[in-house]
């Protein structure tokens, strides 16, 4: 049978074992101690086994029992716990009633459900116990989570850290942050166990796939960190290029778009500039572009455009219900030999005129919102409290975890990887 053995809440010590069902508990524990360095010096009498929501206390009477005798099956998860040495102030063990509370609080699948449901139940029981033990034995983690999930911490602390009370609180059937945190925690631990087991055999197809994914993730994380350090401006929205100009004596703000084939005037600006009388309606049509289908009202063959102190003759297509008032396309830019000079932040019209691009404060607001929609959706990310709690449970500071979740768009795996990478470089 294949078993997954762990002794750590964080999953740092997780390894698979393939043993026979008739292996005695004494030999099984000896094999586990060889794999886990921290348990080498711990006597077997001070070890406990957590399996399927029950605690098996190791003693001379059960060391000779087999794994099958303890109802340990294929693909089960087992957690080894080293009991603290006996002192004058003993820590009370869980009573049978408390263990019964734990079992009752877990939703057990019906007998006719598939084997996968039983495996999921076993995983959830083990993870729930690991979560409880981690919060009970780590005051620092409890303090980190107190502001994010106060009810979860209270469920651990009340009634002298009773496991049954904790399980009764965190079972599903409500939409609280703590339930989301628990569900996500279980899913992440199950995925971590599966990856760990598959990667132990690098020659298998699944192991090769996971290794390739890990290498790809590391490369992406490296490029992300490199960009954040050397090119932080890549994550700042770029203001589109606008200039001031006058059409028929009326001042307007024009959007410079070298990717547009023709120059465009909105019908509202044409009316404001008193140019509707020059619209040739023989060119009416329905045009299709990036913004979808739009109504072309006609064409202005020539009108006077003033750039600084110089005048130029330009032609425009007039569109109805256009978001941008004026668009200078490639036809005008090529005709007047325009140069987009980004070094000097200006638009040059041949050798005769040049005008500076507008700063952010003068760009039309509706256009700024239109082009900044994608960035705004990322910048205004609302941090998922459950994911923040899971990062804090790993020991990260709340401020750093919150900032990284915003940066990664609430992708908790990417945020955790970036935080770990940052710690390793310190």
Task: Point out the residues that are catalytic.
Answer: 257
Residue 312 CA to residue 377 CA, distance in Å, equals 40
The residues facing 51 across adjacent strands are 54
Q: Identify which of 127, 264, 259, 256 has the alpha carbon closest to the alpha carbon of residue 183.
A: 127
Residue 40 CA to residue 64 CA, distance in Å, equals 20
Torsion of CA 31, 67, 185, 13, to 10 degrees: 0
Residue 251 CA to residue 245 CA, distance in Å, equals 6
Are 315 and 275 in contact, with CB atoms under 8 Å apart? Answer: no
Residue 38 CA to residue 362 CA, distance in Å, equals 65
Q: Which two tokens stand for residue 2?
A: 């294949």
Query: Which residues, in sequence order, are CB contacts of 3 under 8 Å at separation 6+?
Result: 16, 17, 18, 19, 72, 74, 75, 76, 77, 78
């Amino acid at each position: 049978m294949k078993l997954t053995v762990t002794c750590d809440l964080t999953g740092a010590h997780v390894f698979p074992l393939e043993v026979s069902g008739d292996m005695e508990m004494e030999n099984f524990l000896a094999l586990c101690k060889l794999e886990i360095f921290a348990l080498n010096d711990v006597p077997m009498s001070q070890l406990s086994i957590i399996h399927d929501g029950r605690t098996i206390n190791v003693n001379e009477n059960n060391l000779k029992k087999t794994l099958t005798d303890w109802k340990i099956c294929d693909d089960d998860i087992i957690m080894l716990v080293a009991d603290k040495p006996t002192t004058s102030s003993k820590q009370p063990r869980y009573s049978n009633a408390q263990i019964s509370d734990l079992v009752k609080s877990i939703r057990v699948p019906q007998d006719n459900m598939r084997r996968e449901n039983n495996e999921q139940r076993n995983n959830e029981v083990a993870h729930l116990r690991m979560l409880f033990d981690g919060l009970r034995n780590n005051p620092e983690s409890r303090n980190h989570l107190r502001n994010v999930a106060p009810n979860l911490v209270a469920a651990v602390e009340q009634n002298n850290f009773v496991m049954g009370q904790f399980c009764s609180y965190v079972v599903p059937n409500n939409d609280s942050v703590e339930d989301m945190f628990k569900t996500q925690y279980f899913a992440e631990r199950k995925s971590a166990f599966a990856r760990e087991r598959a990667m132990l055999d690098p020659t298998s197809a699944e192991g090769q796939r996971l290794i390739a994914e890990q290498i790809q993730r590391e490369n992406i994380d490296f490029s992300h960190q490199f960009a954040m350090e050397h090119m932080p401006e890549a994550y700042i929205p770029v203001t589109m290029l606008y200039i001031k100009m006058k059409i028929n004596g009326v001042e307007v703000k024009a959007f410079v778009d070298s990717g547009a084939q023709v120059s465009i005037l909105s019908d509202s600006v044409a009316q404001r500039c008193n140019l509707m009388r020059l619209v040739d309606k023989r060119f009416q049509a329905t045009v299709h572009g990036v913004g979808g289908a739009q109504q072309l009202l006609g064409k202005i063959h020539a009108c006077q455009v003033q750039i600084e102190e110089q005048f130029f003759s330009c032609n425009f297509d007039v569109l109805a219900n256009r978001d941008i008032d004026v668009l200078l396309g490639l036809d005008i830019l090529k005709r007047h030999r325009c140069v987009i000079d980004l070094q000097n932040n200006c638009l040059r019209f041949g050798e005769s005129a040049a005008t500076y691009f507008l700063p952010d404060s003068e760009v039309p607001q509706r256009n700024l919102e239109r082009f900044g929609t994608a960035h705004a959706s990322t910048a205004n990310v609302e941090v998922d409290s459950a994911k923040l709690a899971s990062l804090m449970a790993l020991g990260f500071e709340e401020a750093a975890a919150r900032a990284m979740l915003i940066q990664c768009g609430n992708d908790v795996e990417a945020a955790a990887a970036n935080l770990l990478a940052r710690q390793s470089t310190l």
